Amino acid sequence: MHLVTWCSLLVFWFCLAHEGASGLCFQYHHQAELKHYLHWVSKTYPHITHLYSIGQSREGRELWVLVIGQYPKEHQVGIPEARYIGNMHGNEPVGRELLLHLIDLLVSQYGKMKTITSLVNNTRIHILPSMNPDGFEMSVPGACSGVDGRYNKNGVDLNRNFPDLFSINQVTREPETLAVMRWTDMETFILSANLHGGAVVAAYPYDNNMSGKSRYTNSPDDDVFRYLASIYSINHRRMFKGNLCKMSFPGGVVNGASWYTLIGSLQDYGYIWTHCYELTIEVSCCKYPSAERLQFYWAENKKALIQFITHVHLGVKGRVLDDKQNPIANTSVLVTGRDDVMPYKTNQLGEYYKILMPGSYTFRVESPGYVPLMVNIHVKDTSHMYTATIHDFTLHRQIS
């Protein structure tokens, strides 16, 4: 093993021996330390965690994901899936460390803090600390700007590598991108954020438009996205001011395409193709600040990370069942006035989840062989109770 790696691991084990519950220092954790820490958490808290890999990077490093929840190993009906992704750009590693400290907070305070316990009991939270471990290893510590380490080992910007609605993104999908796409297909993710550096702002879809020019480009759920972005911003210690990093973002939020357009972003892909409400959170003016600043960034983002993920419980959820109470998979669940590019479909358990602002909505539920259903639902904000409004639909078979 390389001498630097041995030294880093010695620091890790020193922390483990002297900091009590977690042993997580405010330092940058390279791949070996990240792996050791996640395995340690998984072994120490087996009842609420599950560790797995979604694939490997271009250089063969594992893309580790830690799940935290009351039922960490498999999905349960009625419990929404949420996720955080860090270090998509290798030279923006603050998010990588914030997510490790979020893991530490969730597992160490479970059963101690009421809010943390309720969140973990009612949510299945997936955390991918580093989507681009190869880029991180090539990055230059202390570099506040530049592109060294931004791309993966193949020189590709992973946040330009996903399918795009507005432009034909004819690029070869990188292994990291394909891993995230497969992962997204495997789970019913409802809410997600990927963490970046170089600014301090919460950005939301769309990132692109038909013209390719920078202008506000709203999605069918623009009201929801503006609210979710504001939840992160107002719970961040400074983001809401909107005037950090010599930039101006009113309220600390911005529509992606109004800032600048980009083709093949993760947040547009997640929202359009999988109906996951995805945001891009920029957490530091300096892309790769010194390790001494990490505790400061954790203090700034700690509350926002918790409050944002709690809002996976905003809106309405339920199941589509037949008259014998059997689930109906692949059923279209549409909300009038919100024309999804890809129709929302129930999962194999007949479940649907829609993040919506409080109010009254008309739902249209359709499945081949069944009589279509139109229902008005009044949605309340019950996110503070860690559950969305619950409404099940019953469909009756069509009579020939």
Q: Which of 81, 174, 282, 351 is catalytic?
A: 282
- Do residues 334 and 363 lie in contact, with contact meaning Cβ atoms separated by under 8 Å? yes
Q: What is the mean pLDDT of residues 118-129?
A: 98
Q: What is the pTM of this model?
A: 0.95
Q: What is the mean pLDDT of residues 99-108?
A: 98
pLDDT digits (tens, 9 = 90+) for 31-86: 999 999 999 999 999 999 999 999 999 999 999 999 999 999 999 999 999 999 99
Give yes or no for residue 19 having a pLDDT over 50: no
pLDDT digits (tens, 9 = 90+) for 354-369: 999 999 999 999 999 9
Q: What is the mean pLDDT of residues 344-355?
A: 98
**Quick check: is 137 catalytic?**
no
DSSP 3-state of 158: helix
Using CA atoms, how far apart are residues 280 and 297, in angstroms rounded to an integer? 17
Give yes or no for residue 114 having a pLDDT over 90: yes
pLDDT of residue 8: 53
Using CA atoms, how far apart are residues 374 and 167, in angstroms rounded to an integer? 34
Q: What is the mean pLDDT of residues 378-383?
A: 96
Give yes or no for residue 236 having a pLDDT over 80: yes
Using CA atoms, how far apart are residues 102 and 329, in angstroms rounded to an integer? 34
